[in-house]
Structure formats: structure tokens, C-alpha cells
Amino acid sequence: MAITVSSPGTGSRPLDTEAVRALRTALRGELLTPDHAGYDGARRVWNGMVDRRPAAIAHCAETADVVAAVGFARAQGLPVAVRGGGHSAAGHAVADGALVVDLSPMNDVQVDPGARLARAGGGATWGRFDAATQAHGLATTGGAISTTGIGGLTLGGGLGYLMRSYGLACDNLAAAEVVTADGRVVEAGEGGDAELLWGLRGGGGNFGVVTRFDFRLHPVGPVLGGMLVHPAERAPEVLRFYRDVTQLAPDALSLFVALLTSPEGMPIVALIPVYNGPIEDGERVLAPIRAFGPPLADQVAVMPYTAVQSMLDAGFPSGLPVYWRSHFLNGIGDDALDTIVAAFGRIGSPLSAVLIEHLGGAVGHVDRDSSAFDHRDAEYNLAIISRWPDPAMADGCIAWTRDLWDAMQPHARGVYVNYLGVGDTPDRVRAAYGDAKYQRLAALKARYDPANVFRFNQNIPPSGDTG
């Protein structure tokens, strides 16, 4: 059966049936075309707002599959979308009329405990990575939800509970294997291209398909962590307390705060501490935080690192529509906190939330020139995440998110590239890097992907223009 590709740029045209057959034979993984029963499920991503129809989805089981898929796309004139864990809030893992290189079968994680190194396939999730590394009592900074891909998260920077101890996920990236737009397999890092490794440390999926990530590991766990739940009426005091504690926090303490609605329908403010160090020290550091209020519920406990890494999973199911906006913040003065509290009082959906993550510690100690990731001295990261169960709520939720995002502009300094969503414009990508790093990334892009084959990402065009 002939397969037709429809894309906004090129209109409709048939795909070469022989070439499709040859790719299907070449791949160890499966090739899903629109006539295939699994196609509709495979084109879904975490953000249920995203409903795109790629030309085909190539499940890649090894590097050779990725080389074959990219070669096919080049010969057929198809753009390429790359899927790791499918968590991009903007839905970049799928695109209309593109070939999706789906790396989910490449999820193997090998650990060398002696060298404290992990070698992970480009489609592994943090759940898999943490399970493999924790089997040896080791870990590296990774995302707080176990189903997020190591790929997108690391390539954009990588915030997590261990970042104040060990830097961002990308700071722990020692080397990588990359399939480039012209089908070469290149090594980034020691023995390979050092500039490419610099670009992969925060520059996103712009330079090719990363088929292997090598991470440095650290001894981690058990940790002291969990959630302290306060009623939303106390949000003004809790947020001020949060700010004051984070100003003095040791690097071993990570502390996030979220305003959200509990599963029982009660508006709450939750402090989320994770202490990575000797438990007795953690008990001492967390004692005043646990005593404050006191909270309605104290779920802080000594737990395996893998448990802390999945404790929020249930709150982030796949498939709900999501509108997500974000700013890095210079600080959280009383006026900024009052703005957030007032907006939370007008929240349009019980599934929406406001999250503040405290950075600092090792994130700020790492040399700014060592990575494309830039905003190392931002103190906090703000995420305004709207989700809704009923399509009739969409407009109100989106407007609420935009209003709070606008109101927080005076406190903002750039943005985290991985927290850009469907509503963000290309100039926001430049804001993530600053002009100098943006131009350096554009030069690297021009070297590795001059035709911008990899453009379904937080895109840095080879020209360096923001469009």
C-alpha cells in the first residue's frame, strides 16, 4: 500500500514504497507507518495537547538502526524528529510529516562501578538509569519523574534533587556517541569532538541523535526526603520560610516547593526536601523545616534514592493536555511571592500547579564555559503548569498561565530550555543561552547539521537567526 506524507511545508506526496520496504528490512526495531495498528499509540506523547501525524515511526534498537533511519529520511527529503522519553512539553518528539527516530528500545544501562561510570542507551528513562546505577549504590543528577527520558533532559541541562551536590545532569556527561545528519557516527568528548560535547551539555537535540550517553556517577543513598504538606491559606508564610531556608541551605539539601491541589481536592502548598548526605546530618538540617507550621502531613522519611526519584510519578500521568510556561528567577522577594499566591487563588483547574525549584550549590560552582547551559547563577526556576480534564477549561487555563507568567516577568532572568512549551516562541531559545553561547551553538549546528534536518527541538538554526 502506498504511504502518503503530508506536512505543512511540502503538502502531500507518496513515500517511495521500495525505500520503505528496504528500511523495514534493515531495522532491527519496528517501522510503524500510518497503516499500522500500533501507529496511533506510538505517535502519542506525554502532552495530550500534541496530536501530530508523522510519516513513519522507526523504533531503533541499535546505532545501526538510527544510521539507517536518518539515511532513509535524508534520501526521502523527510525532516527527522527524535523521541527519547516523549516528555517534551512542546511535544518535539513527534512532528507532522517527519520520520520519528524513536529510541525507546535503546534503553540498556551498563555500569562500571570501579570507574564510577554509566553507559546508557539514548532512549533510557531515569527510572531505568537509577535502578541500574543504584544497584551499585551510585547515581548521578537526573529528573524527578522516573518516566522522563535521560536524552532530552540531559541535552537541555538536567535539574534534579542531586544538582546542588553534583551539578546538572549535563555536567556529569563525560562522553557521547552521536549519529549526525549525514549519517556519520561520531564521538563527543575525550578522544572525540570536545566542542560537540560542550554543545550536548545543554544545547538540546540540535546536533544529531545521541545513541549513547556516558555519565559520571557518585555514591548516593539512602536519602532523607519526602513531602511536607501545608494548607494553601498558609502559602504566604510557607513561601517566605522556603525562601529564607534556601538562602542558607547546605549543598546537600535540595528544596522545592509546589502550590497544587491534593488528590482529595484541597489546595495545598508542599515543601519537598531531599537531603543527600549522612542521615544524622539530614535529620538535623531538616528538623526546623519539619517543625515549621507544623505541616498537615509530614511524609519525610529515610528512603532509597530510587523511591525519592519516583515519589511524584503518580501526579504526572501521560496524556493530559498541558500548557507549561517558565522563567528562571533572580530571587523571590515578597512581591514575587505575593504575585504567585494571588494567582494560585484564581487557579482554573485542580490539575494545575506552580513549582519553584532552588538551584545554586554545585550548579553555580561549575565553570560557566564548560557547557552550553548558561544560567548558572539563577537562584530559582519557576514552572507554571496548567492541565485540565475537560476541553472546555482549556482557554481559561491557558489564560491563567499566561497572566501569571507575564506578572512574573519583572523577576525573571532567561529560561530553562527544557521548560519551554507549546506557547513559547523561537526568541525564548536565545533567551535560554544568551547571545554569545547562542552564536557558538549556531556555529556548531552549521558544522553538524547545515540543512537543519534536526529542527523539531528547541531549535538553533545554523544561521543563528531566531526567525
Ligand X SMILES: Cc1cc2nc3c(=O)[nH]c(=O)nc-3n(C[C@H](O)[C@H](O)[C@H](O)COP(=O)(O)OP(=O)(O)OC[C@H]3O[C@@H](n4cnc5c(N)ncnc54)[C@H](O)[C@@H]3O)c2cc1C
- Per CB under 6 A, the list member of 103, 120, 285, 329 interacting with ligand X is 103
Of 100 and 341, the one with the shorter C-beta distance to ligand X is: 100
Least separation, in Å, of the C-beta of 76 and ligand X? 20
Burial class (CB in 10 A: 0-12, 13-18, 19+), 79: buried
Least separation, in Å, of the C-beta of 151 and ligand X? 2
Please choose, from the candidates 60, 52, 126, the residue with its C-alpha nearest in 3D space to the C-alpha of residue 310: 126
Least separation, in Å, of the C-beta of 141 and ligand X? 9
Of 310 and 341, the one with the shorter C-beta distance to ligand X is: 310
* Cα distance between residue 18 and residue 351, in whole Å: 47
Of 188 and 303, the one with the shorter C-beta distance to ligand X is: 188
Cell of 69: 533511519
| Strand intervals (E) in 153-206 | 173-179, 185-189
- Per CB under 6 A, the list member of 57, 93, 271, 336 interacting with ligand X is 93
* Cα distance between residue 66 and residue 81, in whole Å: 12
Q: Where are the alpha helices (DSSP H) in 229-368?
A: 235-248, 279-291, 305-308, 334-344, 362-365
Say whether residue 215 binds ligand X (CB under 6 A).
no
CB distance 226 to 301 below 8 Å? yes
Say whether residue 120 binds ligand X (CB under 6 A).
no
CB distance 139 to 220 below 8 Å? yes
The amino acid that residue 84 corresponds to is: G
Query: Which one of 128-136, 139-147, 275-283, 392-400 is the stretch in contact with ligand X (CB under 6 A)?
Result: 139-147
Query: Which one of 89-97, 182-190, 222-230, 338-346 is the stretch in contact with ligand X (CB under 6 A)?
Result: 89-97
Of 48 and 231, the one with the shorter C-beta distance to ligand X is: 48
Least separation, in Å, of the C-beta of 340 and ligand X? 20
Please choose, from the candidates 458, 404, 456, 383, the residue with its C-alpha nearest in 3D space to the C-alpha of residue 52: 456
CB distance 66 to 36 below 8 Å? no
| Footprint (CB under 6 A) of ligand X, residues 415-444 | 418
Map residues 319-338 to x or -, x wherever contact with ligand X holds by CB under 6 A.
Answer: --------------------
Say whether residue 117 binds ligand X (CB under 6 A).
no
Say whether residue 189 binds ligand X (CB under 6 A).
no
Q: Is the peptide bond before 294 cis (omega within 30 degrees of 0)?
A: yes
Say whether residue 85 binds ligand X (CB under 6 A).
yes
Say whether residue 158 binds ligand X (CB under 6 A).
yes
Pairing of strands 322-329, 56-59: unpaired
| Footprint (CB under 6 A) of ligand X, residues 235-274 | none
Of 125 and 134, the one with the shorter C-beta distance to ligand X is: 125
For residue 303, report the phi and psi dihedrals to the nearest 5 degrees: -150, 160
Of 233 and 377, the one with the shorter C-beta distance to ligand X is: 377
* Cα distance between residue 198 and residue 207, in whole Å: 11
Of 341 and 357, the one with the shorter C-beta distance to ligand X is: 357
Say whether residue 144 binds ligand X (CB under 6 A).
yes
Of 87 and 327, the one with the shorter C-beta distance to ligand X is: 87
Query: Which one of 144-152, 342-350, 369-377, 388-396 is the stretch in contact with ligand X (CB under 6 A)?
Result: 144-152
| Strand intervals (E) in 245-332 | 253-261, 267-275, 297-298, 301-303, 322-329
User: Would you give the DSSP letter of residue 366?
Assistant: S
Of 101 and 332, the one with the shorter C-beta distance to ligand X is: 101
Say whether residue 127 binds ligand X (CB under 6 A).
no
Of 274 and 341, the one with the shorter C-beta distance to ligand X is: 274
Say whether residue 89 binds ligand X (CB under 6 A).
yes
Cell of 297: 502531613
CB atoms within 10 A of CB 99: 27
Which positions touch ligand X (CB under 6 A)?
A: 46, 82-89, 92-93, 103, 122, 143-145, 148-149, 151-153, 155-160, 204-205, 209-210, 316, 418, 456-457
